[in-house]
């Protein structure tokens, strides 16, 4: 991940008052990537995992505010299954914020 960031192949989101960059969350054998939904980012994630023993058949791709055609395309690249919003990750419900005006729009 550090190499991908240093080569400007992957850039996370900036959050909070401190403007901290968040790009991934790891919990045991789960990884959540935070990034804009682009083909370049999906292929970067796949290339980072190429040296690891990742069972993509057991892997899921979940996104917020990405249309189902694009999501299916990304899942095909990663050869994994889909998690459709809303979904539960580590016991936490992940969904669009219905109070936001832009909910439902693509990024």
* Residue with token string 């919003």: 85
Structure tokens at 45: 């994630």
Look at residue 73 in the predicted model and tell me its pLDDT. Answer: 94
DSSP 21-67: EE-EEEETTEEEE-----HHHHHHHHHHHTTS---GGG-EEE-SS--
The pLDDT profile of the chain, 107 residues, written as one tens digit per residue, is 778 778 887 777 777 889 888 887 777 777 777 777 888 888 888 887 777 777 777 788 877 778 889 989 998 988 888 877 777 777 878 776 655 555 444 43
Give the pLDDT of residue 22.
82
Q: Give the whole-angstrom CA distance, residue 19 versus residue 102.
A: 22
pLDDT of residue 60: 82
Which contacts of 53-56 are long-range, i.e. CB under 8 A and separated by 24 or more positions? 56/80
CA–CA separation, 17 and 3 (whole Å): 26
Q: What pLDDT is recorded for position 16?
A: 82
């Amino acid at each position: 991940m550090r190499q991908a960031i240093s080569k400007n192949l992957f850039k996370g989101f900036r959050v909070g008052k401190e403007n901290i960059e968040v790009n991934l969350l790891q919990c045991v054998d789960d990884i959540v990537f935070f990034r804009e939904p682009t083909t370049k980012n999906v292929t970067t994630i796949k290339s980072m995992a190429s040296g690891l023993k990742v069972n993509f058949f057991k892997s899921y791709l979940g996104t917020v505010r990405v249309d189902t055609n694009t999501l299916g395309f990304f899942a095909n690249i990663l050869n994994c299954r889909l998690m459709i919003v809303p979904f539960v990750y580590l016991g936490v419900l992940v969904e669009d914020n219905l109070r936001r005006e832009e909910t439902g729009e693509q990024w």
